[in-house]
Structure 1
Amino acid sequence: MTDFTNCRELGPLDAARSRHNWARSDVAAADDRVFAGTADGHIVSFDSALDRVQWDAGGDHRIVSMAATDECLVVGERGGDGTIRVFDTETGDQRWTYATTDDIGTATKDSLFFLPYVVDVAVTENRIVAAARRYERDGEKRVWSSVVLGFDHDGAVQWRYRAAASPIALDTDGDRVAVAYNRCPEPAQDGLVVLDCETGDAITTWDPELDAERRVGDVVFSGDDIAVACHGDKRGYLLDADGHERWSVDLAVKQSVGDETVYAYPNHVCVADGVVVFVTGNTFAESTRDPDARHPQEHTVFAVKDGETLWTHAIGGFARGVESVSERVVVPSAQNFRRRSAETHGVHVFDAEGGHDETTPLSGIPTALAVGDGLLAVVEEPVEYHDEEVTHGAYRLHSGTLE
């Protein structure tokens, strides 16, 4: 069962609206500490019960990616120079910083979508890895500049991997780094690139077999294999170490509902006890941004083992991530901009083999989630739907244990 009882206010924050926001907070957990990265740029270390602030490092830009070990905390920003910052977890001393704009360039427009964005970060025994991107428009052409960086723990860049594409997530098993690219305007760019963690050399690549700009939504290692949530064909894959397909499953593939052809992107994937778990998002349609129909597998969790679906579970709202620990899977569910009901707000816990265990409701929307060293931490943000005058929830940090 989930013991999810500790709560801490994080200050004022404009309420989210009916559609889900771009990331503006993040959270990490390690070494009996919970680290919150806030929309106003603060990085705060709390004890596990959230009773005491251990240190607070201020900043100017929203914190959108975090990774923690017992020794260091890595954070990535959206805005400004797209800075990566590394802290000592115990003292809060800043060890080093790096401006990703040195690699991807500066914003060409003062608009959120154009700001440099450190999409994801990770820590291994010898490396700190980060992926950053920047977007601009050249007439009618969309242009993405991105870099994956491998640092030693003292902040020296050991390698770079550049691409004219949009990275959305990365994972590492210590020896390899898998990078998911969800938008690839150039046909030659692959949706999945696997790099050597030590050298940055490309080991293997993979792409769905279709001609589309949308490619891969998320990636995770499963032993030697690699699980992929594919944006291109809305399916889930398990690949071997060489990028060859072991199995694939339909998730929220295109189908006709009434007069519309609808689909939903598989946005997240994790692995728990040998089971691959995928999570889908909002319904979209070929002909309109706001279809009347709903895809029957929108906002759904799928558990797959050996290519066979063990179970599915509808969570009702948009999930910003998924985490696993041992045989448990944790999925946060935020707003559903079509249903517009606080009933979709909550944190769901699943047994990888058996399915749904429990759901903890939240007043606001869970927008960031972390598990580590027995801790479970969630950032809640306030939300106000456009057709009602009610603010649900507040800007809060929750912590507890996953038993």
Structure 2
Amino acid sequence: MSERDAWTNASPDERAAVSLGDVDPARSHHAGRRSAVAFTGDVVVAGSADGDVVAFDRETLAERWRTSPAAGDDPSVVSIAVYDGGLLAGERSARGGVRCLDPSNGSVRFRIETREDVGRPQRRTRFFLPFVVDVVGDGERAYVASRRYERDGDDRVFRSVVFALDADGARTWTYETDASVIALDARDDRLAVAHNRCPGADQHGLVVLDADAGRRRYDWDPGTDGQRRVGDVSLLADGAVVASHGDYCGYRLADGGRVRWRVDLATSTEVGDETLYAYPNHVHATEDGVVFVTGNTYPEDGRETDGLHPDEHTAFGVSPGGDRRWRADVGGFATEVATDGDRVVVPGAQHFRARDADGHGLRTFDVADGPLEDRATDGVVTAVALDGDAVAAVEEPVVYHDDGIERGASRLHRHSA
């Protein structure tokens, strides 16, 4: 029996799924994030492409409550986090909305419109909408990152904001930049902010803020040409690990920004008559090691290629000292990763060059030892959460242009890892 058949035929104790309604299928190219999922207490909460936030019983997946976006909005829920103030759901929408919900019943405690910080969309198309790219819960405080993109002639322009909320929903500080914020990580008294593009005055790929006051403690940059800088960051007790978009490497930084080590990930490689690379988009670090995950292949000249970088769509395990110790395929583009201690779950979305549906699913890794488990799905997996031995994943339908077949459905999966 194949992994896909085993998943489909598994008993409820082994695997459960519930419909999230109808959504337009994904296509060969990525349309950006449009879903999110998180565990809180005895429920699993999913945010959908139509703006609904739905809570399901953690064990049975019976629906507990559902809340819809404000009238006149047409958002996708793209980020979710839990803190003492409630459940935060961040949107990609004209308002750049953030809803704080009561986890017990879904009632709205307060709403925030980040368009007041980053500005209204230049156009009402998806990639120009304000985008709440990350929300992070940290006990009594939560952190929100939102950005907006526009074009000024041939130039790309970004406006980004990061702010802290207390348990009552009051904003305690605000950080603004003309770089494109892509990810946050909080630990102890620090908040790390990753900038994946730096087209303006702020030329630092990583900024580490004082979590209490929002002041810059230090910044770091790979020092490469061009706008691309950092794809993700993971804080350690004595520094940080970053995935560099500038040179396609991973870096271990001491507190203050000094480089301890660098590891090649998907650096420029000759394939046929082309030079290809892939961005390292995700990183998770613990005292036992680091996991990096790379994304799509791109050529150094232009954007289209028939070639594939040998290290695209790959998870790399790296020792605390910076040595590679394992590598594994992740099946397709990962929109995010879920982590809990030394475990990492990677969802596989479209492989927009090879468009291989056999790669759809999610993979679980141990930071030190590598692959633990693969789970196949018919559609693409676009969001994932991990809590102890419980995994939740959002699947979306997909249609590749090669064959026009719709695979999968919009549904929430829950299983034990």
Q: Does TM, normalized by the shorter one, top 0.5?
A: yes
Change (3 A) 1:313 1:374: closer
1:214 is matched with 228
Q: Select the structure with the greater relative contact order (CA < 8 A; seq sep ≥ 6).
A: 1
1:398 is matched with 413
1:4–1:398 CA contact under 8 A, matched in 2: no
2:137 is matched with 123
Q: Percent identity between the aligned chains?
A: 47
Distance across 1 between alignment mates of 2:67 and 2:122? 28
Give the number of aligned pairs: 401
Of 49, 56, 59, 1:39 maps to 49
Deviation at 1:96, TM superposition (A): 1.2
Distance across 2 between alignment mates of 1:10 and 1:293? 36
Amino acid paired to 2:269: Q
Instruction: Tell me, yes or no, if structure 1 residue 181 matches structure 2 residue 195.
Output: yes
Distance across 2 between alignment mates of 1:63 and 1:334? 17
1:218–1:229 CA contact under 8 A, matched in 2: yes
Distance across 2 between alignment mates of 1:4 and 1:82? 38
Deviation at 1:20, TM superposition (A): 2.2
User: How far does the alpha carbon of each residue in 1:227-252 deviate from its partner, in whole angstroms, 9 at most, with x for none?
Assistant: 10000000001111111111110000
Of 97, 105, 114, 1:91 maps to 105
Of 174, 178, 196, 1:164 maps to 178
1:44–1:57 CA contact under 8 A, matched in 2: yes
Instruction: Tell me, yes or no, if structure 1 residue 379 matches structure 2 residue 394.
Output: yes
Change (3 A) 1:4 1:129: farther
Counterpart of 1:103 in 2: which secondary structure?
A: helix
Distance across 2 between alignment mates of 1:282 and 1:24? 19
Deviation at 1:80, TM superposition (A): 2.1
Distance across 2 between alignment mates of 1:181 and 1:337? 24
2:88 is matched with 74
Of 142, 147, 165, 1:151 maps to 165
Distance across 2 between alignment mates of 1:121 and 1:326? 19
2:10 is matched with none
1:368 is matched with 383
**CA-atom RMSD, angstroms?**
1.6
1:320 is matched with 335
2:26 is matched with 16
Distance across 1 between alignment mates of 2:202 and 2:96? 27
TM-score by length of 1: 0.96
Q: Where in structure 1 are there 5+ consecutive unaligned residues?
A: none
1:389 is matched with 404
Deviation at 1:140, TM superposition (A): 1.7
TM-score by length of 2: 0.93
Of 230, 251, 259, 1:245 maps to 259
1:313–1:356 CA contact under 8 A, matched in 2: yes
Deviation at 1:87, TM superposition (A): 1.2
Q: Where in structure 2 are there 5+ consecutive unaligned residues?
A: 1-6, 8-12
2:242–2:252 CA contact under 8 A, matched in 1: yes
Deviation at 1:71, TM superposition (A): 6.4
2:3 is matched with none
Distance across 1 between alignment mates of 2:60 and 2:133? 27
User: How far does the alpha carbon of each residue in 1:317-360 deviate from its partner, in whole angstroms, 9 at most, with x for none?
Assistant: 11111222233221111221222221110111122222212211
Distance across 2 between alignment mates of 1:324 and 1:121? 15
User: How far does the alpha carbon of each residue in 1:123-173 deviate from its partner, in whole angstroms, 9 at most, with x for none?
Assistant: 112311100001111122211011101111111111111101110111101
Change (3 A) 1:39 1:92: same
1:299–1:318 CA contact under 8 A, matched in 2: yes
2:16 is matched with 6
**Stretch deviating more after TM superposition (28-37 or 271-280):** 271-280
2:383–2:393 CA contact under 8 A, matched in 1: yes
Of 212, 218, 241, 1:198 maps to 212
Counterpart of 1:295 in 2: which secondary structure?
A: coil
Counterpart of 1:20 in 2: which secondary structure?
A: coil
